[in-house]
Structure 1
């Protein structure tokens, strides 16, 4: 039995709470590769979706069915044919796709039925609604290849889908669309999910895929995952990649993420279904687990304003209690807020520092340098330091100094040198606490 002890649960829950608040009432479109179901991960994934639903997130789930259709075709001794990353859907393949879609919809609806018994989400009711929400047209003939019954999305019935999710239902979409004359077309999960997210102007589009995300070095399969790509960077990366023909190709899901962001979806994600709880980790943790494409970087380093006071107070309070920082009143922070620089990610402040100039001595004090424990050792401290140095240079100052009792080695590694407290400007020397015996470290600005 796994136990969550109070001393670990409370900090964890506090860290997650801002995300819960931020996403309540938001709309997520989730594209689920058929490989997830083939790998036996549907029930666990349904639990995670039920958790999001219970937190007030509006959900549209689009399922894929590549391996299931391939299996049906193999059982009939019929080849699976693809071109340009799409299935060539002849009459036999269309029949197999319809059969696979029906079976998968049954399995997915069953996974959400009966309150998910014997799971952490027991008694959570998730009503699943599905229907003919998609109008499609044929792909036609491309480069001499007749795609027959394969289609592309022509229109999404966003109004009806919105009504369903607004009353608390989860909308389930299969990759099928119909022409106005009733002809059925086989679509791709990725296109359906992207078109639906754009039509709904969803807050997130999340692909649960066979891939871990976009790696920082595309030639090294062991390199780290790039957890956040600005849309402009994603476009440049995509332009340099070969056309994607397989879902495991780096460009395959990335092209849909870029299309979604260009269509007004704030964030699109590529996540590995092989990692248990990947969806929850991506939504409720600072850096997530996969790759997120955003119209602009969610993390920003900027000068603080009045609306940031509460976030700064919350960030520095734990360090004041343990004696790392000198205690500052809220009134003092409100008065001096223009002196602060902050790092925020998705509206949450994770780092700060203040700059108090002493122009007559051509120097300034950097105070209250704080980085949240959640993101320490990721270089944010150095980023703030460089920003503070830039601000000081802009004031025409020649140096910055800090007073510290516990972090002298961090500053010394970054070019600070220890000096006698009598070096301090007279105005600062009068406020120096000789009982605290803080070390004074100075860095010259080149």
Structure 2
């Protein structure tokens, strides 16, 4: 009787949440370790339950645990740099096999409808596909990352159509390029990008940690991105939590209303977080207010801070404060709550009727949305107002981004004379050119 009473009370208390979640879009990341055969079944059953309750569900899965074991068995030990593996074709073959094996296993488990299972009578259509487009990480610190990549674009409209058809969408940590290659992606970043592009109501990240805790070990229930980033923990000892926290904070800043950090080790974490008043993990809520405007002298400190990580990686050429002060009229910035989160420059070559697009940077926590395109449009509009016929850019890392936006590969000889004479041959930057109509 007592157990029946407790269940009835819980069910009554969960009713408002069931109604509130119906028709909402949730993106759920499940790390690979949580999907080992010996303990993945309860989690799959809970995801199936969410689907039957009317949640529009996208499941992003990790494959790190499975891939590491398979690579070791194959005698492959990829080099690790800047938090990512340097993957050649042999390593990628192993990872693709593990990702496909796990994807098929998930589709099979979502199809279970045996009379003695919690999914009896359910008919779930689980669908995957080439839903994430990727680009190579490129050359970093002189090292070619080869088949390690990052998200270029999420095919959000295709995912929405599948959700409209009541499908449960499964997204692996792999991305396809416009040249037909497959790249290894960070699963947490995939989940973030999918959630942002879908304008998801929730991004739920299931890892080993129960959430964020303070120095006394007390779980922090609700935080802003700034508060979450101020919580100290050993990022080296807990790399998974570090990746998930970065993704959660970035997603919150990019418009995802609620992001949640939960532990798959807690059998009831997913349902407990979604259908109880207090929840069981850490929730991070988004903030608002930002604007694109011409840069001011008081922005220079924030611009230098924004550029520094890319300068240290060799993506950007270092710029001094004095140089920025002299060229401040060339810059546009995106400012959010007083913080510079994006910038771009249009350096003028009036005699050639060309402009150089330079220093296009978006803070790492705010990437994946439309801010890069917003900055590009601002520069293009300014160039057209000045009567320029073309824009050019020099890059060592982001040529795919420019090519995707109508630029073509050029040569140093096509640069304006005054720019060509200072072209750094040793840096060997690619020249990208876009005609302006």
TM range (shorter): 0.5 to 0.7
**1:49-86 C-alpha deviation (Å, 9 max, x unpaired):** 01101110000001111111111111111114322222
Residues 188 and 243, structure 2, Cα contact 8 Å, conserved in 1: no
2:263 alignment partner in structure 1: 272
Distance 1:278 1:102, change over 3 A: same
2:356 alignment partner in structure 1: none
- Rounded to whole Å, the distance in 2 between the matches of 1:112 and 1:55 is 15
- Rounded to whole Å, the distance in 1 between the matches of 2:171 and 2:153 is 14
Alignment equivalent of 2:209, drawn from 211, 222, 241 = 211
- Rounded to whole Å, the distance in 1 between the matches of 2:115 and 2:70 is 31
Give the C-alpha shift of residue 124 in structure 1: 1.4
1:113 alignment partner in structure 2: 111
2:228 alignment partner in structure 1: 234
Q: TM-score, normalised by structure 1?
A: 0.61
2:51 alignment partner in structure 1: 53
Give the C-alpha shift of residue 207 in structure 1: 0.9
1:416 alignment partner in structure 2: none
| Equivalence map 1:176-215=2 (5 Å) | 176-215=174-213
2:22 alignment partner in structure 1: 24
- Rounded to whole Å, the distance in 2 between the matches of 1:30 and 1:254 is 14
- Rounded to whole Å, the distance in 1 between the matches of 2:45 and 2:14 is 18
Distance 1:207 1:117, change over 3 A: farther
Report the 3-state secondary structure (helix = DSSP H, G, I; strand = E; otherwise coil) of the residue aligned with 1:31.
strand
1:294 alignment partner in structure 2: 285
1:174 alignment partner in structure 2: 172
Give the C-alpha shift of residue 39 in structure 1: 6.4
Residues 207 and 241, structure 2, Cα contact 8 Å, conserved in 1: no
- Rounded to whole Å, the distance in 1 between the matches of 2:79 and 2:88 is 9
**1:292-329 C-alpha deviation (Å, 9 max, x unpaired):** 111269xxxxxxxxxxxxxxxxxxxxxxxxxxxxxxxx
2:218 alignment partner in structure 1: 224
2:137 alignment partner in structure 1: 139
2:296 alignment partner in structure 1: none
Give the C-alpha shift of residue 92 in structure 1: 1.7
**1:208-228 C-alpha deviation (Å, 9 max, x unpaired):** 1021211122xx5xx121121
Give the C-alpha shift of residue 5 in structure 1: 4.2
Alignment equivalent of 1:36, drawn from 27, 34, 47 = 34
- Rounded to whole Å, the distance in 1 between the matches of 2:112 and 2:204 is 26
**1:313-362 C-alpha deviation (Å, 9 max, x unpaired):** xxxxxxxxxxxxxxxxxxxxxxxxxxxxxxxxxxxxxxxxxxxxxxxxxx
Residues 42 and 108, structure 1, Cα contact 8 Å, conserved in 2: no
Residues 84 and 245, structure 1, Cα contact 8 Å, conserved in 2: no
Distance 1:75 1:162, change over 3 A: same
- Rounded to whole Å, the distance in 2 between the matches of 1:236 and 1:177 is 32
- Rounded to whole Å, the distance in 1 between the matches of 2:132 and 2:2 is 44
Distance 1:66 1:41, change over 3 A: same
How many pairs does the alignment contain? Answer: 288
The answer to whether residue 274 in structure 2 is matched with residue 283 in structure 1 is yes
Gaps in structure 2 of 5+ consecutive residues: 289-437
- Rounded to whole Å, the distance in 1 between the matches of 2:268 and 2:153 is 32
Alignment equivalent of 1:71, drawn from 58, 69, 74 = 69
- Rounded to whole Å, the distance in 1 between the matches of 2:159 and 2:208 is 27
- Rounded to whole Å, the distance in 1 between the matches of 2:237 and 2:176 is 26
The answer to whether residue 78 in structure 2 is matched with residue 87 in structure 1 is no
Q: Which runs of 4+ in 1 moved over 3 A?
A: 3-6, 244-250
Give the C-alpha shift of residue 142 in structure 1: 2.2
The answer to whether residue 99 in structure 2 is matched with residue 101 in structure 1 is yes
Report the 3-state secondary structure (helix = DSSP H, G, I; strand = E; otherwise coil) of the residue aligned with 1:114.
coil
Distance 1:246 1:100, change over 3 A: farther
Distance 1:127 1:250, change over 3 A: closer
The two structures, once aligned, show a CA RMSD in angstroms of: 2.1
| Equivalence map 1:235-274=2 (5 Å) | 235-237=229-231, 244=235, 247-248=238-239, 250-274=241-265
Find the structure with the greater CA-based Rg: 1
Report the 3-state secondary structure (helix = DSSP H, G, I; strand = E; otherwise coil) of the residue aligned with 2:72.
helix
Q: TM-score, normalised by structure 2?
A: 0.63
Distance 1:109 1:250, change over 3 A: closer
**1:174-223 C-alpha deviation (Å, 9 max, x unpaired):** 11111111011111111111000000000111111021211122xx5xx1
